[in-house]
Structure 1
Amino acid sequence: MSESLDSGPPPQAPNPPTPTTPLRQRLAELRGPAAQPHPLDARALAALAANPGCKRRALLDGAGVDKTALASALGSPAAYGQSQFAFMRGNAFEAKVKADGGKELVRLLGLDSPAEVASVRVPDLSAAGPEGRAARTALALREATATGGWTLLDHPMLALEVAGSPAYLEPDVVVVRPDGRWTVVEIKSFPMIDGSADAAKVGAAARQAAVYVLALERVAALTGGASVAHTVLLVCPKDFSNLPTASVVDVRKQLSVTRRQLARLTRIEDLAAALPEGATFDLERPAEELTAAVESVSAAYAPECLAACELAFHCRDRARESGAVEALGRAVRGELGGLTTVGAVLAAARGGTDHPADDPAVTALRRAAALRADALKEAAGCR
C-alpha cells in the first residue's frame, strides 16, 4: 500500500472550542493538583448517553476524574472493566486484522486484485497531542475525499464537544471510499458464529460506533463533498478460529438516541458552579470529604449502571439505604409514578391515605396486594 498524504501543518478549524481558562482551572481543582485528566472515550460516552439524567457521571467524566480510583477511595471498588486477558486478546486480534498494511481488512472490503490492494493509501496521522492528532485526521479525511480511491485511517483522532467540554475519540479504523463516503470500522474479539454474534455485545459495539459516527459527522460538516455512512463494518473472529470476518451493522437508531441524549446533558460549567464551596474529588482528601463531594451531585442510578459505570456499587448502596425505587429498575420506577420510595410503595399497597386512591399506581398496588393476600389464604387452607 502506498502513502500519498503529505505531512504539512495541520489545520486549526476542525477542533472543538476548548474550555475557557477559568473552567479549565475549576476542573483541575476538582480533580486535584496532582491528578492528570482521565480521557473520555467512546465507550464512556455511550454509557453517558444511555443515562443523560445522571449529573454525577456527567461532571466526573467532564472533569476527567478517575472513577475507578474514586470508587476505591469511597470504599466501593468496582469490578467493572475489561479483564487483562480480554484486553490482550483484543489487541492481538486487532493487530492481526491490520497486519501487512491491513491486508485482511482490505480483503473484507472486497478488494482482491494486487493492483487494488497496492492502490490503498494509509496516511501517517502522527501529531503532537490529541488536538494536533484530531486536526491531522481532519486534514487526512479532506485530502482522501478530494483525491478519490481507497484510504484507511488507522486509529484516527476525532473531536466531539460533550456538555461544553471537548472529548477526543479514537476509532479502530475509518475507511474513505472512492465515492467520498466515510465508514467506521469496529474491530472486536468476540466471535461471530455462523454469521451472527452475541446480540448484547453487538449492541454495545453499535452504541460505541454511533459515537464515532457522530464525531465524524462534525468533521464532514466542514468538508464539502463528504458523507458519513450510517452503517459500520464490524470485524470479529469467524466461528472458533482467529480468521477475521465482517458484518455490516446499521447504527441509525443508536446514532439518533446518542445525538438526542448528549444534547440533553447539562453543561459542565453549570454542574461545577452548583457544587458547594470547596468541594473537590481530589483522591488525596479524606474519604468522608470525598463522599460528601460525590453526594452533593445528584445521580440517576439504575441496575443497568452496574455494567457501565465504575461508581455503580456506591450509587446502588446509597439508593438501597434511602429506599429509592430506582434500585428496582427503570421500568419499575416508571410504573410507580409519584411513589419514589419502597416505604411509600408498601404503605400505598396496604391502604395508606397519603396517596389518592384514584392514582393508577396506587390502584394497581392495592389490587396486587389483595390478590397476594387471597393467594396466601388459599395456600394456608390447603395445608
Structure 2
Amino acid sequence: MPTPASRRRTRERLAELRGPAVPPRPLDARALAALAANPGCRRRALLDGAGVDKGALASRLGSPAPFGQSQFAIVRGNSFEAKVKADGGRELLRLLGVEDPGAVSVPDLSASGPEGRTARTALALREATAGDGWTLLDHPLLTLEVAGSPVHLEPDAVVVDPAGRWTVVEIKSFPMIDGSADAAKVGAAARQAAVYVLALERVAALTEGAEVRHSVLLVCPKDFSNLPTASAVDVRKQRAVTRRQLERLTRIDEIAEALPEGLSFDVQGRSAEELSAAVEAVPHAYAPECLAACELGFHCRSRAREEEAVQTLGRSVRGELGGLTTIGAVLAAARGGGGAPRASEAESSGEGGPEDPAVAALRRAWALRQEALAEAEAAACR
C-alpha cells in the first residue's frame, strides 16, 4: 500500500516529467476506458498519469492526430444536454420512465477544488439515499484510483430513486434512429459509463442502503431531430472487463522511477529530438485500435512499422504468431529460413523452430500459396 510519502514523491516525479510550469491535463472516463483497453502500454499509462498533453506532444513529434470536436459540435452538444435536463430534471426522469416523479431535488454540488467537489458529491449521494424522493445530481465529481493515482471523473448526471438506487446517465449527441444507434458509438459510451459505475461503487460501499445499477441510461437525439430519446444499456460486461484491466495496470510510480533523471515530456521547454528520445525511453504496446483512442497512435504506428513489428497487423495476429515478433521473422519462418533470433534456451524448447505450431502453420500457408500461384501461372500459359 503506498504511503503518503511515496504518493508525494510520485506526484513530484510526475510533475518533473510533465514540466514544472505545465499544468496537468486531467484524465477523464473516455481516456480511462481507452487506457483499460490496452493495459500493457506503459507509455500511455505514464503520460496519462503525469497529465501530459499527448495531442501537443504528438504535434511536436511530427505525427499529429485528428482528435477533438468542432466548436459547432460542442455548442450543439451543450444545447442538447440542457434540453435533456430541462424542467428541473423532470424531463430526464420521464426518459427514465417516471411519468410523475413529484418534487425532484437537484442539490448544489459546487465546492472549492476537486477534493471539495468530490466530498460534496458523496454527501449529496448519502442524503439522497436517506431521503424518500427523486434526486438528480448534475455533473457530480467522483474519484477512482488508477495505477496508484487518483483520477477525478465527471458523469453527465446520476439519478437516485426513492429506493436508494443510483443510475448513471450518459448524454450523447449521436442520433438514435428507429430506436437504435451506431453499435461502435454505443459500445464506446458503455465502456465510458462502466468507469463511472466503478467509481460510484466506491461511494456506495460507504453509504447505507445504496445500490449502483449496472443498467445505465443512454440519452441521444431521436432520429434527425433535437428531441431526446433514451435506452437502457447493460454495462455489466464492460464493468467487469474495465475493472480487471485497471487492476492489471502497472503502477505509474514504478514506471516513473525506472526512467533516467532529467528526462522530460515538457513540450514547451524541450526540443523535438529530446521529446522523441523521452518518448522512446518508455515501452509501448501499439495496436491498430490505438489510432482511434490515443493521440500518440500515429507516432507509435510509425515506430512499429520501422521495426517491422507484427503488432501493426493487429492483436489477434500478434497472438497467433507467438515468439515471432517481426514481419521479417514471420516471412523467414514461412519460407523455411527459421524464426526470429532467440536465446539458446528458447531454441532448445523448439519455440520458433520447425516444431513450433505457428511456424508449421506459416509454412503450410506458404506452400499452399506457392501451389496456387503455380496453378494460376500454368493456366495462364495454356
Q: Give the structure-1-normalised TM-score.
A: 0.93
- 1:60 maps to what in 2? 47
- 1:33 maps to what in 2? 20
- 2:325 maps to what in 1? 340
Return the alpha-carbon distance in structure 1 between the equivalents of residues 90 and 32 of structure 2: 31
Choose which of 304, 309, 312 in structure 1 pairs with 2:294.
Answer: 309
- 2:97 maps to what in 1? 110
- 2:363 maps to what in 1? 366
Return the alpha-carbon distance in structure 1 between the equivalents of residues 244 and 161 of structure 2: 28
Conserved in 2, the CA contact under 8 Å of 1:160 and 1:169?
A: yes
Per-residue CA deviation, residues 73-100 of structure 1 (Å, 9 max, x unaligned), is 1111111233333323222211111123
Return the alpha-carbon distance in structure 1 between the equivalents of residues 6 and 74 of structure 2: 32
User: Which of structure 1's runs of 4+ aligned residues deviate more than 2 A?
Assistant: 17-21, 80-89, 109-113
Structure 1 gaps of 5+ residues are 1-16
Conserved in 2, the CA contact under 8 Å of 1:104 and 1:244?
A: no
Conserved in 2, the CA contact under 8 Å of 1:207 and 1:254?
A: yes
Conserved in 2, the CA contact under 8 Å of 1:97 and 1:103?
A: no
Return the alpha-carbon distance in structure 2 between the equivalents of residues 83 and 346 of structure 1: 44
Return the alpha-carbon distance in structure 2 between the equivalents of residues 277 and 100 of structure 1: 56
**Which deviates more from structure 2 when the two are superposed, residues 186-195 or residues 300-309?**
186-195
Return the alpha-carbon distance in structure 1 between the equivalents of residues 30 and 251 of structure 2: 20
Conserved in 2, the CA contact under 8 Å of 1:18 and 1:166?
A: no
1:324 aligns with 2:315: no
Return the alpha-carbon distance in structure 1 between the equivalents of residues 277 and 228 of structure 2: 49
**Compared with structure 1, are the counterparts of its residues 47 and 263 closer, same or farther at alpha carbon in structure 2 (3 Å cutoff)?**
same
Return the alpha-carbon distance in structure 2 between the equivalents of residues 359 and 84 of structure 1: 54
- 1:296 maps to what in 2? 281
- 2:343 maps to what in 1? none
Per-residue CA deviation, residues 33-53 of structure 1 (Å, 9 max, x unaligned), is 221000100000000000000
Task: Describe how 1:1-383 pairs up with structure 2 within 5 A.
Answer: 20-113=7-100, 116-117=101-102, 119-283=103-267, 284-354=269-339, 355-383=352-380
**Compared with structure 1, are the counterparts of its residues 79 and 255 closer, same or farther at alpha carbon in structure 2 (3 Å cutoff)?**
same
Return the alpha-carbon distance in structure 1 between the equivalents of residues 367 and 70 of structure 2: 48
Displacement of 1:18 after TM fit? 10
Displacement of 1:260 after TM fit? 0.3
Aligned-pair Cα RMSD in Å:
1.3
SS in 1 for 2:152: strand
SS in 2 for 1:314: helix
SS in 1 for 2:355: coil
Amino acid aligned to 1:371: L
Q: How many residues align?
A: 364
- 1:7 maps to what in 2? none
Structure 2 gaps of 5+ residues are 340-351
Per-residue CA deviation, residues 18-42 of structure 1 (Å, 9 max, x unaligned), is 9732222111111112210001000
**Compared with structure 1, are the counterparts of its residues 244 and 216 closer, same or farther at alpha carbon in structure 2 (3 Å cutoff)?**
same
Conserved in 1, the CA contact under 8 Å of 2:96 and 2:217?
A: no
Return the alpha-carbon distance in structure 1 between the equivalents of residues 300 and 75 of structure 2: 30
Q: Give the structure-2-normalised TM-score.
A: 0.93
**Compared with structure 1, are the counterparts of its residues 19 and 241 closer, same or farther at alpha carbon in structure 2 (3 Å cutoff)?**
farther
Return the alpha-carbon distance in structure 1 between the equivalents of residues 78 and 331 of structure 2: 51
Return the alpha-carbon distance in structure 1 between the equivalents of residues 125 and 5 of structure 2: 22
Return the alpha-carbon distance in structure 2 between the equivalents of residues 344 and 38 of structure 1: 40
- 1:3 maps to what in 2? none
Displacement of 1:231 after TM fit? 0.7
